[in-house]
């Protein structure tokens, strides 16, 4: 543990002493360190596309000036880099909004199956484009709970998007949902939404760190797929706000299963 110590000399009438206050600041220091790491990470993540952009601009001003085909190629790459920065800033804003609302209990009545279905429809074009079969198995009713509609939509969208991105061409992604009588960890009746993919999976040793900001199993692959490294951190925060839990199962060559378990009351 780390302590801040403050001392004061206490003069008195016939009594003199020294007053020492010890304050345990372990938690404070840790939070401070996390914040510093976060700022360093964000700077690095923004600088990478910026450096690339500056490189492209320089080439366009010099060697590629008269070459129409090269100009076209460079502009396409510059657009991709700018979009990457845009996604990162968007995810940073989402994360900070979710953190701001962490203590506010969500009050909408949300039909979870309907929201998951909405996320599936939203992600269908991405699946088709990526050669992934996306299917949903959703129950008709019994899945209404207090929640934040937009945030839950974001949770399912992020999980389905990851399943498509990392599942890869030829993979199957299935979204299913159902009621749970009593979740052993939440100790409450719950609903469970599963997003399963038949992609490459990953070593389970990554699972405990997967929801940390900017943690990636394979940085190269994440960047290539346009990932910001913030998707699962956002998911985790939203699930926590709903007093639920995120369960992750994966193994190399076996695909992955991301389950969101939310209390029904
Ligand atoms: P990213 O923007 O990199 O996708 P996320 O926070 O959404 O960031 O995910 C963190 C990391 O978890 C990813 O970089 C990837 O390595 C891994 N991951 C997430 N979902 C899957 C999945 N369905 N299959 C394999 N790996 C996954």
Please give the ipTM for the structure prediction: 0.99
CA distance 88 to 45: 8
Residues contacting ligand 1 via CB (< 6 Å): 162-163, 166, 197, 199, 202, 210, 216-218, 222, 227-233, 256
Residue 220: phi and psi, rounded to 5, are -60, -45
- What's the pLDDT score for residue 27? 86
Map tokens 């909408």 to a residue.
108
What is the pLDDT tens value at each position of the chain, 265 positions in all?
788 888 888 777 777 888 888 888 888 888 888 889 999 999 999 999 999 999 999 999 998 888 999 999 999 999 999 999 999 999 999 999 999 998 899 989 999 999 999 999 999 999 999 999 999 998 877 689 999 999 999 999 999 999 999 999 999 999 999 999 999 999 999 999 999 999 999 999 999 999 999 999 998 888 888 899 999 999 999 999 999 999 999 999 999 999 999 998 7
CA distance 24 to 32: 14
- What's the pLDDT score for residue 17? 84
Residue 242: phi and psi, rounded to 5, are -85, 10
Which residue lies with its CA nearest to atom 20 of ligand 1?
Answer: 162
- What's the pLDDT score for residue 24? 86
Which residue lies with its CA nearest to atom 24 of ligand 1?
Answer: 166
- What's the pLDDT score for residue 28? 86
Which residue lies with its CA nearest to atom 14 of ligand 1?
Answer: 216
Helix (H) or strand (E) holding 113: helix 112-129
């Amino acid at each position: 543990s780390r302590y801040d110590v403050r001392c004061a000399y206490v003069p008195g009438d016939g009594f003199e002493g020294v007053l020492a206050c010890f304050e345990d600041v372990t938690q404070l220091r840790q939070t401070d360190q996390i914040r510093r790491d976060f700022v360093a990470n964000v700077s690095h993540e923004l600088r990478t596309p910026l450096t690339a952009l500056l490189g492209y601009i320089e080439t366009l001003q010099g060697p590629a000036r008269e070459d129409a085909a090269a100009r076209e190629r460079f502009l396409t790459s510059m657009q991709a880099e700018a979009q990457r920065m845009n996604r990162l800033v968007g995810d940073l804003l989402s994360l900070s909004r979710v953190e701001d609302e962490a203590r506010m209990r969500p009050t909408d009545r949300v039909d979870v199956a309907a929201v998951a279905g909405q996320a599936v429809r939203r992600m269908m074009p991405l699946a088709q484009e990526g050669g992934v079969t996306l299917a949903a198995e959703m129950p008709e009713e019994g899945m209404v709970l207090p929640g934040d509609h937009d945030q839950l939509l974001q949770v399912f969208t992020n999980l389905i998007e990851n399943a498509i991105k990392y599942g890869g061409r030829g993979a199957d992604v299935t979204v299913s949902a159902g009621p749970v009588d009593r979740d052993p960890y939440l100790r409450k009746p719950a609903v469970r939404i599963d997003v399963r993919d038949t992609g490459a999976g990953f070593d389970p040793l990554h699972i405990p760190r997967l929801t940390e900001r900017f943690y990636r199993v394979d940085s190269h692959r994440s960047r290539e797929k346009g990932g910001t490294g913030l998707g699962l951190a956002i998911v985790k925060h939203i699930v926590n706000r709903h007093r639920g839990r995120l369960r992750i199962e994966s193994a190399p060559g076996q695909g992955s299963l991301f389950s969101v378990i939310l209390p029904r009351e």
